[in-house]
Chains A and B, each alone.
Chain A
Amino acid sequence: MTEMRMRDAIREAMREEMLRDARVFLMGEDIGAYGGSYACTRGLLDEFGPERVRDTPISESGIVGAGVGAALAGFIPMVEIMTINFSLVALDQIVNNASKLHYMSGGQVNVPLVLRMASGGGSQLGATHSHSLEGMFAHFPGLTVVCPAFPGDAKGLLKRSFREPNPVVFIEHTALYGARGEVPDDPDHLVEFGQAATVRSGKDVTLVGYSGSVHQCYRAADMLAEEHGLTADVIDLRTIRPLDMSSVIRSVRRTNRAVVVEDDWKFGGFAGEIAAQIMERAFDWLDAPVARVAGKDVPMPYNRNLEYAALPSEEDVVEAVLSML
């Protein structure tokens, strides 16, 4: 095990996969000479050369399209989209081409494309640059959506993504790039998709999160224990498609209560999917309606205080739990 930051774990995963498989190459805006907007590809141009670490024009639709083509042609491309906000420009390539070609070709072709993108608000980047759209990608069959919360999982999941025969949207929360954690040194350390992790055990309530919201759940669990004598199961989904509902259901049947936490807007958000599945599969075990703690229903404000108020906080989680008792 080595302690490293999230961005370094992500870089290590790409580096190891490039060393392992010559078909792996990287494309994206400023990923080469500049080392990536979040410094995830720093040093890789020097190590692997411009053939395998390619700086591209600012043209997300073009880059993703090129990635889809390269994948069809037998490569394993990783396309870095600087932030999830710009993926909207490439949505047709992602949704209509990447996610559907395997199905529409009757299984004749695969699209082993890895799309990395930074997501989440909290950095005062304004309404157009603070989205959390991973739930939207999870909506589409044919896409795998990976949302790690810890560096070790990020490395294992990203390496696993390079071995997936069809497209993977790999979400990196901007607030977590500097987060430190233990990362296994084993170059064959993979984290399988669709396996949630119980990062904390308790008996009074199940807190469900992914990516950044896992940390809110974790801090809320601390507050519940210290200030209210309540213990919480905290479940880190790790991938939201495929979705490991069995872990969630097992937990809820034990605790009888659940709060789902995410940065995305509550209305039509992914937390609603989890809440609905809990209701479908654990109705007779519920002692309170499933609560959702999510972003406020507004475009993200630029003002620091308003942005803080618009994002879900650990205090919101604690309040949601207390309102169930």
Chain B
Amino acid sequence: MAIEVVMPQMGADMTEGTLVRWLKNPGDSVARGDVIAEIETDKATVELEAFDAGVLRQVVAAEGDVVPVGEVIALLGDADEEMPEVERRAPSEKPNPRAVAAPTADGTGGDLDARRVRVSPVARRIADDAGIDLAEVTGSGPDGRILRRDVEEAIAVRDHHAPAGVPTVEPELPPPPPPPARVEPLSRMRSAIARNMTDAKQQQPHYYLTVDVDMTEAMAFRRHVNLVLHGPQRVSVNDLLVRACAVALAGHPKFNASLTDEGIQYHEQVDINIGVALDEGLIAPALLDVAARPLPEIAEESKALVERARAGKLRAEEYSSGTFTITNLGAYGIDVLVGIINAGQAAILGAGSVTERPAVVDGEIAVRQLMTLALSADHRVTDGAEGARFLKEIQTVLENPTRLSV
């Protein structure tokens, strides 16, 4: 029996995906679990595995097609079975749910129809009146029909760029309009960031707390453990932060929670998102289930995660989950970073760089390695005093680094 391969849903907010590349060709045998295509979502490029075995009989979506979740992109079947006809998707920027009519053999036009420029009567009349050449207009209607809106847009574009008319008798001409600003459409990632940040800032009332952490001990601890750790297990400052948050969250579950219609939802698992800057934007993949993980494991996982994020190869659960977020601009020499909550979560921790600064130790001014942490928290879920205790706990763990290893 023919098996439909559909655009998978990867993450709750995914509505469509781009078919980047087919890794199997029609006629190829496919085993269960074989990677058959690469799909790009808002957040990453993912490999699509076959859920069934069979022969790839028909490829419905072409490379580059944007396909709604749940729509058929290919058919699997036996090598020689009769297959149902599935219309090949029309290649398009945005999918048109109405398939383009194929040339017909029913005497209503066939090939002739396919070549004809479709224009609605009102569009043709307005184009004639305005002297618009319909061959220059792209139709946005069903089957590419040129509609009234397309002609009106063409008129607007033409009038905007029209050469200046005959000089008038008016002594003063109005100032020329400023040159039009360059407009670049939002990339999918940019749109996702915009949506997420707007949701968080509009719906989650933030409060902010900052504290200076004396990292002198922690930096020494890091040097020591890195003497015995190798390669990917070597610990970064950010790994110390992840571990410190995991430890602190255990005693402050309200910061590992989400506000829902029913009330505060406490998450069983601690999944910490870490912000990763990319050329095209930003993504915050999750280190999954970090509560009980030792530092070397966090270090190793974290490096692999950042690499996958940069390569656009994150797994669905890595970019669709997360219960708490750390954002760190220490590498950029920033003193204080006050973050916007990752929408839906209860808090985010922003970290600045570790720098040598004067500090008072036992009544004397000493040069210490300080780092400023900023906690942004959802005031609907927690209050300032709770935030202060939580942030203090993170500070205490970092200033007593033996707690990082137990």
Contacts and interface: CB of A to CB of B under 8 A. Distances in A.
A302 interface: no
A285 B126 CA distance: 9
Interface stretch (B141-149, B153-161, B193-201, B269-277): B141-149
Contacts of A323: 98, 142
Nearest to B150: A287
B101 interface: no
A323 B122 CA distance: 17
A75 interface: no
Interface in A293-325: 323-325
Nearest to A325: B141
Contacts of A285: 121-122, 125
A280 interface: no
Most buried by A among B98, B121, B145, B148: B121
A51 interface: no
Given A256-B148, A323-B98, A286 B120 contact: yes
Nearest to A285: B122
B123 interface: yes
Given A323-B142, A324-B142, A288 B120 contact: yes
Contacts of B142: 288, 323-325
Interface in B100-151: 120-125, 141-142, 145, 147-148
A29 B123 CA distance: 56
Contacts, number: 32
A227 B324 CA distance: 35
A279 B186 CA distance: 42
A285 B141 CA distance: 16
A284 B141 contact: no
Interface string A248-259: 000000001000
B141 A288 contact: yes
A38 interface: no
A140 interface: no
Nearest to A288: B120
B121 A284 contact: yes
Contacts of B121: 283-287
A288 B124 CA distance: 12
Interface residues of B, number: 12
Nearest to B125: A284
A285 to B, nearest CB: 5
B92 to A, nearest CB: 16
Contacts of B124: 284
A286 B122 contact: yes
A280 to B, nearest CB: 12
Given A324-B142, A325-B141, A288 B147 contact: yes
Most buried by A among B120, B123, B142: B120
B121 to A, nearest CB: 5
A124 to B, nearest CB: 33
Contacts of B141: 287-288, 324-325
B221 to A, nearest CB: 58
B146 to A, nearest CB: 10
A286 B148 CA distance: 9
Contacts of A287: 120-123, 141, 147-148
B63 to A, nearest CB: 28
Most buried by B among A286, A287, A325: A287
A283 B123 CA distance: 11
A83 to B, nearest CB: 39
Contacts of B148: 256, 287
Contacts of A283: 121
Contact of A284 (B98, B122, B145, B147): B122
A114 to B, nearest CB: 42
A286 B120 CA distance: 6
A211 to B, nearest CB: 30
A233 to B, nearest CB: 16
A283 B124 CA distance: 11
Contacts of A284: 121-122, 124-125
A286 B123 CA distance: 8
A286 B98 CA distance: 20
Nearest to B146: A287
A283 B147 CA distance: 14
A282 to B, nearest CB: 9
Most buried by A among B122, B125, B145: B122
Nearest to B124: A284
A324 B145 CA distance: 10
Nearest to B98: A323
Contacts of B147: 287-288
Nearest to A286: B121
A323 B121 CA distance: 17
A137 B124 CA distance: 38
A318 to B, nearest CB: 14
A285 B123 CA distance: 8
Nearest to A256: B122
Interface string B198-239: 000000000000000000000000000000000000000000
Contacts of A256: 120, 122, 148
B97 to A, nearest CB: 9
A226 to B, nearest CB: 19
A295 B148 CA distance: 30
B117 to A, nearest CB: 15
A286 B146 CA distance: 12
A210 to B, nearest CB: 26
A284 B120 CA distance: 8
Interface string A151-181: 0000000000000000000000000000000
B98 to A, nearest CB: 7
Contacts of B122: 256, 284-287
Contacts of A324: 141-142
Contacts of B125: 284-285
Interface string A273-292: 00000000001111110000
B58 to A, nearest CB: 26
Nearest to A283: B121
Given A256-B148, A285-B125, A287-B120, 12 more contacts: A256-B122, A284-B122, A284-B124, A285-B121, A287-B123, A287-B141, A288-B142, A288-B145, A324-B141, A324-B142, A325-B141, A325-B142
9 contacts: A283-B121, A284-B121, A284-B125, A286-B121, A287-B121, A287-B123, A287-B148, A288-B142, A324-B142
Interface of B: 98, 120-125, 141-142, 145, 147-148
The 6 A-B pairs with the shortest beta carbon distances in the complex, nearest first, are: A287-B120, A284-B125, A287-B148, A286-B121, A287-B122, A285-B122
